[in-house]
Amino acid sequence: MDLFQIIDDIAKVDPETLDRFDSRRAAFRNFLGFGKKVTATALPLAVSTLFTKAYGQTAALPAAVVATLNLALQLEYLEYFYYDTALNSSGLNLTADERGAFEIIRNDELLHINILRTTLGSAAIAPLTRASFDYTTSQNLSRSPVAPLTALGGTTSPTTGPFTDKAVFLLAAQQFVDTGVRAYKGGAPSLNTSTTKDILEAALNIHSVEARHSSRIRSLRRGGVQSANAPKSWITPDETPNTPGLPNNGVANSPTTVGPYLAGLPVANFPAEDNITQATLNVQTIGTLVSGTAGAEAFDEPLNAETVKGIAKNFAANPTALFN
Amino acid sequence: MHNPNNLLAGPADEPGRGLTSPLARRSFLRYSGAGLAIGGLWLAGCSKDDDTDVNPNGNFIDVGKDDTGILNYAYALEQLEAAFYTQVVGSFYTGATATEQAILKDIKDHEISHREFFKRAITSGRISDSLQPDFSNIDFTQRTTTSGKLGVLQAAMAFEDLGVAAYNGAGRFITNNDYLTLAGKIVSVEARHAALIRELIKTNSFVANDVVNLDTSTPNNLGGSPAVTGNLNGTGLERSKRPAAVLTTANTFLAAGSKLSATQYPA
C-alpha cells in the first residue's frame, strides 16, 4: 500500500483533501507519530481512521458516492411518480390487491427518496416532480413515442396525463424496477469505501427491497401468485431477447440499444440477464439442475451507470436535464 | 495485503479506488480478461492463515475471516437452503398446488446453483461441503402449521428472509468488489424468492415491517419532496443482519458439529 499515492490520487479529484487533513492537523500529526509504532497489518485501520476524520459527517461525500446516490435518487423519483400517477388513474381499474401492492411500493419509494436526500444532504439534486417525467417516451412531445407506451400519459399532455392501460402499466413497472435493481447492483462497488460502509449497507437494503417489488409486480402481471402464466417472479433468460431495446440517447459508455435485460458496458462486467457465466463458471452445468433456465435465473446482473442513464433518459420530459 | 497474488482484491486498492476515474481503472482491470476476475476468486483462500477448518470456538465451525470468511458464510447458508428445498421437492406437502410445486422446484435449482458456485469458487480455506442440517423443527408434510413446528412455506420464508438480511449485512465486510457484485447478483434473487413465498402465505406481505423498516418509531419526515403525509413511517430499508445474529438463527437448522460461528466480524 502506498499511502501517499492514495492521498495524491484523492487530491486529484478532491482538491480540498489536503486542506481537510491540514485543518485536522492534530489528527494527522497524531497519525504520523503513531505510525512509527504500527505494524504493516495495522496500517489499514489507521488509514481508515484518518479518512474518517478527514471526511467526517460534515465534510463532503466522495464524488463517486454522490454520483451514485444522485442517480439512484432520480430513479426513485421516476418510480415514485410512476406509481403515484397509476394510483390516481381511475382508468386503470386496479383491483384491491393491486392497489394495495402499489400503495406499498409507492410509499417505499418515497421513503427511499427521503433517506437518499438525507444521506446526500446539500449534494442532493433539486427535488423532481411529475412533470419531470414523460412515461410515454415522447420526451414531452419532442419525438415519436414507443407505440404502446402512449397509454402512460397520452399524446397531448404526456407529462401530466393519466395512465389508461393496466397491462402496459404493469409491464413498464416491472421494467423500471428491474432496471433499478440492476442500477443499485452496479453502483454498490462505488459505495464500498472505508468511510461509506453505512451508506453501502443502506443501498444494499434498498436494492433488496426493489427486488421484492419486482417479484410482486411480476406476480401481478401473471394474474396472481397461483397463476402458471409468465412471467416468473425472477428474470428468465427469454426476457433478454424478447424485450425490445430503447435508444441510448447519446449517452457515452452505453450500448447503442439499451434495455432492462440487455447488456451494459463493458459487456464482460455487465452482461445481459440471460448470462450463465459467473466468474468463468457455467452455473447452468456445474450443478445438477432440473430446469434448463435456472442458471440464468439464479443470478441477476448489474448495469453500469451510463447504461442506466441511457435507459432512463427515454422517460425524462427533458432528456438533457435528467440522468446526467 | 492479505492476498498479494490477488490482482483485483486488496485494501491497497481501496481508499482511492472509487475516486480516481473508477470506471477507467476498473474497466481496464476487468477488460484484461474474465480469467483475471476468476483469478481473484480462486486465490481468495490464500491468506496467510488457512484456519477456517480448525475449530477455535468449541463445537462451532468458524467461517473464518476477511473476504474468504464472508464467502464461506454465504456458502454455508446456500448449503442449508439447498438441503431444505431438496427435501421439500422430494416429497411435497399435502395440498401443494401445481404452481407451488413449480415455484419450489425452481427455487431448489437456484439454491443448488448458488451452492455449487461457491463450492468451486472458494478453492482454499473453504468450510465443509457437507454441513449437516437439522430440520426436526420443520413439518415437511404441511404447507403451514400452527403446531409450533414450521410448515414448509413458513420455513422457506424464514430461510429466504434470513438470506437477504445476511447478504445485506455482510456486504460491508467485503473488500474485493468482484465479490460484492457477486453477492449482489445472488441477494436480489433471494429477495425475489422471499417476496413470492411471502405472497403465497399472505397477500401483500412482500415488504412487511418484519423485514423492511416501516417502524412508527422512525418517523420519516426528513424534509424530502414530495412531503410525507399520513402515517408513513420508517426508512424503507431492508432489515439487514450481522453474521452473528444470522447464524444464531441458522444454527437452529444445523446439526451438532455443523453449527457455525463468525467470530471475526463485529456483531
Q: Kindly determine whether residue A228 and residue B35, on different chains, have CB atoms separated by under 8 Å.
A: no
Q: State whether B103 and B170 are in the same domain.
A: yes
Cell numbers given for B80: 442449508
Which residues 264-323 in chain A show a CB within 8 A of chain B? 266, 268-269, 277-281, 283-284, 286-291, 294-295, 297-302, 304
Q: Kindly determine whether residue B239 and residue A63, on different chains, have CB atoms separated by under 8 Å.
A: no
Q: Which residue did the predictor score with more confidence, A295 or B4?
A: A295
Q: State whether B22 and B132 are in the same domain.
A: no
Any idea what the CATH number is for the domain that residue B233 is in?
1.20.1260.10
ipTM of the complex: 0.83
3-class SS of residue B22: helix
Q: State whether B64 and B34 are in the same domain.
A: no
Average the pLDDT over B59-81 and give the result: 97
Q: Contact B207/A204 with Cβ under 8 angstroms?
A: no
Question: In this structure, is residue B2 part of a structural domain?
Answer: yes
Confidence of residue B229 (pLDDT cuts 50, 70, 90): low
Q: State whether B103 and B222 are in the same domain.
A: yes
Q: State whether B174 and B121 are in the same domain.
A: yes
pLDDT of residue B215: 85
Q: What is the pLDDT along chain A (324 residues), one digit of tens a residue?
A: 344 444 444 444 444 444 444 333 333 333 333 333 333 333 333 333 333 333 444 468 999 999 999 999 999 999 999 999 999 999 999 999 999 999 999 999 999 999 999 999 999 999 999 999 999 999 999 999 999 999 999 999 999 999 999 999 999 999 999 999 999 999 999 999 999 999 999 999 999 999 999 999 999 999 999 999 999 999 999 999 999 999 999 999 999 999 999 999 999 999 999 999 999 999 999 999 999 999 999 999 999 999 999 999 999 999 999 999
Q: Nearest Cα to B237, choosing from A16, A222, A199? A: A199
Nearest CA in chain B to A199: B172
pLDDT of residue A94: 97
Nearest CA in chain B to A7: B16
Which residues, including other chains, have CB under 8 Å from residue A115's CB and lie 6 or more apart?
A202, A206, B220, B222, B235, B236, B237
- Kindly list the distances between the CA atom of residue A80 and the CA atoms of A63, A104, A107, A122, in Å, as whole numbers in the listed order: 25, 11, 8, 21
Total domain count for chain B? 2
Q: Kindly determine whether residue A225 and residue B206, on different chains, have CB atoms separated by under 8 Å.
A: no
- Kindly list the distances between the CA atom of residue B49 and the CA atoms of A29, A291, B3, B15, B68, in Å, as whole numbers in the listed order: 34, 39, 11, 24, 11
Q: Which residues pair with A281 in a beta bridge?
A: A278
Distance in angstroms (rounded) separating the CA atoms of residues B61 and B67:
17
- A1 part of contact set with chain B, CB < 8 Å: yes
pLDDT of residue A61: 96
Domain that holds residue B194: 57-261
**Structural domains in chain A, sorted by start:** 3-54 (no CATH), 63-235+305-315 (1.20.1260.10)
**Test mutation, B237, B241, B264, chain A, max A CBs within 10 A:** B237
- A200 part of contact set with chain B, CB < 8 Å: yes
**What pLDDT, in 10s, does the model give residues B139-169?**
999 999 999 999 999 999 999 999 999 999 9
Q: Nearest Cα to B170, choosing from A192, A44, A280? A: A192
Question: In this structure, is residue B48 part of a structural domain?
Answer: no
Give A-chain residues touching B184 at CB under 8 angstroms: 184-185, 188, 204, 207, 300, 302
Calculated CA dihedral for residues B50, A47, B172, A282, nearest 10 degrees: -60
Cell numbers given for A233: 417472479
Cell numbers given for A31: 497519525
Nearest CA in chain A to B187: A208
Q: State whether B185 and B243 are in the same domain.
A: yes
Q: Contact B61/B128 with Cβ under 8 angstroms?
A: yes
- Kindly list the distances between the CA atom of residue A2 and the CA atoms of A5, A190, A237, B16, in Å, as whole numbers in the listed order: 5, 20, 44, 11
Q: State whether B18 and B137 are in the same domain.
A: no
Question: In this structure, is residue B266 part of a structural domain?
Answer: no
3-state secondary structure chain A: CCHHHHHHHHHHHCCCHHHHHHHCHHHHHHHHHHHCCCCHHHHHHHHHHHHHHHCCCCCCCCHHHHHHHHHHHHHHHHHHHHHHHHHCCHHHCCCHHHHHHHHHHHHHHHHHHHHHHHHHHHHCCCCCCHHHECCCCCCCCCCCCCHHHHHECCCCCCCCCCECCHHHHHHHHHHHHHHHHHHHHHHHHHHCCCCCHHHHHHHHHHHHHHHHHHHHHHHHHCCCCCCCCCCCCCCCCCHHHHCCCEECCCCCCCCCEECCCCCCCCCCCCCCCCCCEECCEECCCCCCCCCCCHHHHCCCCCCCHHHHHHHHHHHECCCCCCCC
Which residues 171-190 in chain B show a CB within 8 A of chain A? 171-172, 174, 177-178, 180-182, 184-190
Q: State whether B223 and B119 are in the same domain.
A: yes
**Burial B93-124, CB ≥16 within 10 A → b, else e:** beebeebbeebbbbbbbbbbbbbbbbbbbbee
pLDDT of residue B21: 30
Confidence of residue B19 (pLDDT cuts 50, 70, 90): very low
Min Cα distance B48 → chain A (Å) is: 12
pLDDT of residue B34: 38
Q: State whether B2 and B79 are in the same domain.
A: no
- B227 part of contact set with chain A, CB < 8 Å: no
Q: Cα–chain-centroid distance for residue A171?
A: 18
Cell numbers given for B181: 457484485
Confidence of residue B231 (pLDDT cuts 50, 70, 90): low
**Test mutation, A204, A218, A219, chain B, max B CBs within 10 A:** A204
Give me the residue from B41, B228, B240 closest to A204, CB to CB. B240
pLDDT of residue B59: 86
Q: State whether B162 and B236 are in the same domain.
A: yes
Q: State whether B4 and B128 are in the same domain.
A: no
Give B-chain residues touching A214 at CB under 8 angstroms: 192
Average the pLDDT over B236-258 and give the result: 97
DSSP B96: -
Which residues 2-61 in chain B show a CB within 8 A of chain A? 11-12, 14-20, 22-23, 26-27, 30-31, 34-35, 37-38, 41
Q: State whether B230 and B124 are in the same domain.
A: yes
Question: In this structure, is residue B231 part of a structural domain?
Answer: yes
Confidence of residue B218 (pLDDT cuts 50, 70, 90): low
pLDDT of residue B233: 84
Give me the residue from A97, A190, A228 closest to B99, CB to CB. A228
Question: In this structure, is residue B182 part of a structural domain?
Answer: yes
Cell numbers given for B203: 397477500
Q: Kindly determine whether residue A278 and residue B102, on different chains, have CB atoms separated by under 8 Å.
A: no
Cell numbers given for B238: 431492508
Q: Cα–chain-centroid distance for residue B177?
A: 16
Question: In this structure, is residue B150 part of a structural domain?
Answer: yes
Give A-chain residues touching B15 at CB under 8 angstroms: 6, 10, 47-48, 51, 193-194
| Helix pair A197-221, A63-87: axis angle to 10 deg | 30
The average confidence (pLDDT) of chain B is: 82
Residue at grid coordinates 444521506: A119
Question: In this structure, is residue B256 part of a structural domain?
Answer: yes
